Amino acid sequence: MSSNSDKVKIIFGLKIRQLRLDKKLSLSEVAEKSGLSISYLNEIEKGKKYPKTEKIMALSDALNIDYDSLVSLKLSKQLEPIAELLNSNILTELPLEIFGVEPADFIELMSEAPAKISAFISTIIEISRNYDMRVEQFYFSVLRSYQEMYDNYFPDIEESAQQFRKLFEISEITSPNDTLLSDILQNFYGYQIEEFTRESHPDLTTIRSVYNPKTSKLLVNGDLSPEQRAFTFGRELGYQFLQLKNRPYISSVIEVNSFEQVLNNFKASYFAGAILINKNVLVDRLTYFFASPKWNGDMMLSIMRLFNATPEMFYHRLSNLMTSHFKINNLFFLRFNNEVDHELFYLTKEMHLAKLHTPHGTALNEHYCRRWVSLTILKDLEKIQKEEGYDSEKVLCKAQVSEYIDTNNHYFVMSLAKPSPPNKKMNSSVTLGFAIDDNLRSMAQFLNDPALPRRKVNETCERCGAVDCAERMKPPLVLDKKHSLERLKQAIASLE
């Protein structure tokens, strides 16, 4: 929606349509009473036309309503949720066109069935309030849908990354380091780069970087690893090379002003991964990896270390290329955070390209299955850190075949666990899971390796009926409630 005048047209059109329907008048009857054509009335109701004063007066007479009430921007209680939507920034900020939806189509849908759309919007708003859903969560949900729709592979950004590598004479087998990318930012784009410490900026210790557009100064956390620095600089180069003006200036999302910022942050991050990890080199190494008859986590780590990339960026890059070059589309990505000596695991990022949405994040504070390799690998890393010290930069790679209890869905799942600087005593795991189907079996030769762990898993303890589970954290409360309801239904059915 481009302007306030568009909102005025839509609100006026909705009021005219609702008044006409309330009075059980057809378009032709209103046309006859007002002296306006049916086609013109149709344009008004769809929010495409706003009549002149004399025509509004004709409509007020035809609908038996006073002029001031008709031109007021206040909608009836029945249509208040639509007014709330129109007065918000959602229609402006969401690029509906990326989903193949034109704003005009959405407005026409509202005008065709305003009461039903109003009820639907009210429901969505109520759900978001009940689950304390912030606008940032909504935007990131939309972004995940966008990624899933395109199988998380974007040829236009890939092409831009190749142009960047060619422009700055970065060879195909080179993964640019943080020094090179820093030099390009400073010498070509006029950045000033300055490190900060816990002592100089104690309130910024959990932030990786902050950019000031007025001074072109980039503050970078001195506790970052070289790979994290490379990604930080690569993302800044993405903003500049792709000419993405509307962007967040803080690396960690504290608040989001628009969906465009979220989308541009994703594009710049994707660009960073593409310049750090050349797709041709990675595809070549992955071809050998999946042809091995034995699962080898060390081989996966050795491939990762060919590039100046964090484990998370490496797995994101894998997700790009598994869909585009290996045609493995049924996959998911998860990232968990876990503080040392704590039993709480936080799912901080997820993406599902698989039609089977297990495992899937839950906002209900349930306890994720402790049999997932995503979680067990974090506890394995914690043990090593307690032996070697928390400054250890150890990275683990493990895998398992997960069979979901009750559904029989099978996944091959591989996880990387690592420390998560600049947060002290915080570890993260990143996971890629692949639905085991004929396509994966033909490609991944190590799936039949007897040394590859196989475990029965579920989503959360509260939903799992596994008997004698040593890893159980909570009783199966949700499952018990479901079974109780089923027994109640059966008892009622037996009475009939």
| DSSP result, 396-464 | EEEEEEEEETTT--EEEEEEEEEE-TTSTTEEEEEEEEEE--HHHHHH-GGGG-TTS-EEEE-SBGGG-
Predicted pLDDT of residue 465: 85
pLDDT above 70 for 354: no
Nearest alpha-carbon partner for 274 in 385, 354, 154: 154
**For 452-463, what is the mean pLDDT?**
91
Predicted pLDDT of residue 1: 45
Rounded to 10°, the helix 80-87/114-130 angle is 70
- Token output for 364: 């209900």
Q: How confident is the model over 73-114, as pLDDT tens digits?
A: 777 766 666 666 666 655 565 566 666 666 556 666 665 666
Spatial distance between the Cα atoms of 275 and 212, rounded to a whole number of angstroms:
24
Q: How confident is the model over 13-47, as pLDDT tens digits?
A: 888 888 888 889 999 999 999 999 999 998 888 88
- Token output for 260: 């465009």
What count of other Cβ atoms lies within 10 Å of the Cβ of residue 252?
11
Predicted pLDDT of residue 381: 93
pLDDT above 60 for 131: no
Grouping H, G, I as helix, E, B as strand and the rest as coil, residue 344 is: coil
pLDDT band, very low/low/confident/very high, at 125 (cuts 50, 70, 90): low
Beta partners for residue 212, in sequence order: 217
pLDDT band, very low/low/confident/very high, at 407 (cuts 50, 70, 90): confident
Q: For residues 285 and 302, is the Cβ–Cβ distance under 8 A?
A: no
Predicted pLDDT of residue 71: 83
Phi, psi of 9 (to 5 degrees): -60, -45
Beta partners for residue 402, in sequence order: 411, 455
pLDDT above 50 for 68: yes
Please tell me the pTM assigned to this model.
0.79
Contacts of 432 (CB under 8 A, 6+ apart): 315, 318, 319, 322, 331, 332, 333, 413, 414, 415
Spatial distance between the Cα atoms of 266 and 273, rounded to a whole number of angstroms:
11
Predicted pLDDT of residue 277: 97
What count of other Cβ atoms lies within 10 Å of the Cβ of residue 215?
9
Predicted pLDDT of residue 146: 85
